[in-house]
Structure 1
Amino acid sequence: MSAMQTFAPPVVATAGSTDADAPLVVLLHGRGSHEREILRLADHLPVGPTYAAVRAPIAEGGGYAWFANRGIGRPVAESLRATMDWFRDWLDGVAPAGRPVVLIGFSGGAAFAGGLLLDDPGRYAGAAILYGTLPFDAGVPTTPGRLAGVPVVVAQGEHDSVIPRELLDRTWNYLLADAGAATLARRDPVGHGIAAPALATVAGWLRERLALVADRVRPTPSPRTWTRPPGGQLPPPVGPARR
């Protein structure tokens, strides 16, 4: 049974550019029907990309939040796999090869974004893991060097009482060390909510990522410029002829 047979088509709210070639920033909330809520982040993020908030297809645990729960095991791993396949079916339809994609996940949405990134690091131009945990022991690789060179932002609240502290610490330590990612990390004296300085950090990071992506896809001018010689004739050679 395919993921598309298992789940209904995605419910997606969008903002920003309507250009089908613009970079795509996917916003993932921890709760099932809060896509409009997390889409408001686009008001504080750079102009230019398309922002798409994708509703989780499962109701258990409130949506993507289920993947951040304790009790990780085979049922969660199987559900994560099915949900990632469902998401990729949608993503590959709206962002074919060549269209940059950045993931931004909050709370349980961070766990799902982290799962997508760990499953296929080369697919994404970067990811922000906000006030959540990576889906450890849920069927995606968390081996040393798995995210080598991948740009990542991790933001956490020092007083977060929603996500278990041991999982926050494990996520923090992995992204800053073993993962090999190019990680920008910050902790703020808040609970389970995005602090204004953290959001500003994400905005600045995303702006830099978009600028780098634009540089990579911008055509490089030819190193040579050919012009027609005066009178249409080449000048005579100078020096002895070579045989």
Structure 2
Amino acid sequence: MTEFPAPVVALAGSTDPAAPLVVLLHGRGSDEREIVTLAGHLPDGPAYAAVRAPIAEGGGYAWFTNRGIGRPVAESLAETMAWFRTWLDEVVPAGRPVLLVGFSGGAAFAGGLLLQDPSRYAGAAVLYGTLPFDAGLAVTPGLLEGAHAFVAQGDEDHVIPRELLDRTWDHLHGDSGATTRSRRDPGGHGITRETLDELGDWISERLALGR
């Protein structure tokens, strides 16, 4: 079992310990300081926690080792998800809503967490990334019945393999059973202002916030 460092977390938004928590998960090679800036463009009301991934890589951090872009090694993903759940279950009491927002590699991690335990989360946003297919997690029809997802993709995204983007889009809109809101951009591998606006609306709806 790999020994990971204690989580490093950047906080923003509400300091009320009962406030809904939005967990921000950065992309491969990035860190918590970059993605926490999204909180300034998202709804007031929740607490925001940007967590640093536990694997050092490329001057930043990664959520899992991979066998190709968007293709996690199953054993690595299982270990990092267990590490994350240990942290989450320690800091978030039962009954406090938790919503996941992941970008790129963080999107695959958020998707993995949702697939592992759909009832734990108020929803998961998969932004410009893929679900972790063929990585030791069940991706069966109806598994996400009752769960909520937000998926955003760029039509000119050449970072994540198109086959994985298409498979993610089709699965979340179809066999998964999830209630899915989605947005397609004409651009590439980056979060647009329009996507942030729609993501903010989705967060408000999922957490019953007034906007």
Q: Could you tell me the TM-score, scaled by structure 2's length?
A: 0.93
**Which residue matches 1:150?**
147
Q: Deviations over 1:147-191 (max 9, x none)?
A: 112111000000001000000000000000010000011111010
Closer, same or farther in 2 for the Cα pair 1:71/1:195, shift >3 Å?
closer
SS at match of 1:112: helix
Aligned CA distance change for structure 1 residues 30 and 69 (closer, same or farther; 3 Å)? farther
Corresponding residue number in structure 2 for 1:64: 63
TM-fit CA distance, 1:140: 1.0
Once the two structures are TM-superposed, the CA of residue 71 in structure 1 deviates from its matched residue by 8.5
Paired residues, what number?
Answer: 208
Matches within 5 A, 1:1-243: 1=1, 6-60=3-57, 62-64=61-63, 66-67=65-66, 69-70=68-69, 72=71, 76-211=73-208
Shift of 1:31: 2.7
Shift of 1:32: 4.5
Asked if the contact 1:68/1:134 (under 8 Å) is kept, the reply is: no
Structure 1: which 5+ residue stretches go unaligned?
Answer: 215-243
Contact kept, 8 Å, 1:67 with 1:111, in 2: the verdict is no
CA contact (8 A) 2:26 2:104 kept: yes
Q: SS of 1:51's equivalent?
A: strand
In 2, the alpha carbon distance for the partners of 1:150 and 1:205 equals 13
Consecutive unaligned residues in structure 2, runs of 5 or more: none
Change (3 A) 1:77 1:107: same
Counterpart of 1:149 in structure 2: which amino acid?
G
Distance 1:205 1:197, change over 3 A: same
Distance 1:147-1:7 versus aligned 2 partners, 3 A rule: same
Moved over 6 A (4+): none
Larger Rg: 1
Alignment RMSD: 1.9
Aligned in 2, Cα 1:71/1:94: closer, same or farther, shift over 3 Å?
closer
Query: Displacement of 1:70 after TM fit?
Result: 4.3
CA distance in structure 2 between the partners assigned to 1:142 and 1:129 by the alignment: 15
Residues 50 and 70 of structure 1, relative CA distance in 2, 3 Å threshold:
same
The structure showing larger relative contact order (alpha-carbon pairs under 8 Å, at least 6 residues apart) is 2
Instruction: Label 1:13 to 1:138 Cα distance change in 2 as closer, same or farther (>3 A).
Output: same
2:205 is paired with a residue of what secondary structure?
A: helix
Contact 1:32 1:55 in 2 (8 A): no
Kindly provide the CA deviation profile for residues 195-214 of structure 1, in whole angstroms up to 9, marking residues without a partner as x.
111111100010111117x9
TM-score, length-scaled by structure 1: 0.81
Deviation at 1:20, TM superposition (A): 1.1
Residue 12 of structure 1: CA displacement?
A: 0.5
